[in-house]
Amino acid sequence: MADYFSDRERGPRPRIEQEMNPIAWAGIVATVEALANKGAFGHSYPEQCPDGGAISGNDIQGLTGAIEAELHGLSWPLQTQYDPDPDSYLSKKEPWCPPTLLALDLIEFVWRKVATPINFGKYHDYYRHHHLTFDQDSGRQEFCKNVNLILARNGLAYELNPDGKIRRILPAVIGEALSRTYFRTGDRTLDVLLEESRIKFSSPDPLIRREALERLFDSWERIKSMAHQDKKKSITTILDRCASEPEFRSMLEAEAIELSRIGNNHLFRHHEVRQKPVIDVQQVDYLYHRLFAMIELVIRKNVKG
Give the per-residue pLDDT at 276. 61
Give the per-residue pLDDT at 27. 98
Which is it for the CA torsion 121, 122, 126, 130, positive or negative? positive
Give the per-residue pLDDT at 4. 84
Instruction: For 146-179, give one letter per residue: b (16+ CB within 10 A) or e.
Output: bbbbbbbbbebbbbbeeebebebbbeeeeeeebe
Spell out the domain ranges in the chain.
5-167, 171-302
Residue ranges for the chain with pLDDT beneath 50: none
What are φ and ψ of residue 12, in 5° steps? Answer: -65, 155
Give the per-residue pLDDT at 119. 83
Work out the burial of residue 108: count CB atoms within 10 Å of its CB; fewer than 13 is exposed, 13-18 middle, 19 or more buried: middle
Whether residue 183 contacts residue 189, with contact meaning beta carbons closer than 8 Å, is answered with no
Give the per-residue pLDDT at 132. 82
Instruction: Supply the pTM of this predicted model.
Output: 0.78
CA angle 12, 16, 20 (to 5 degrees): 105
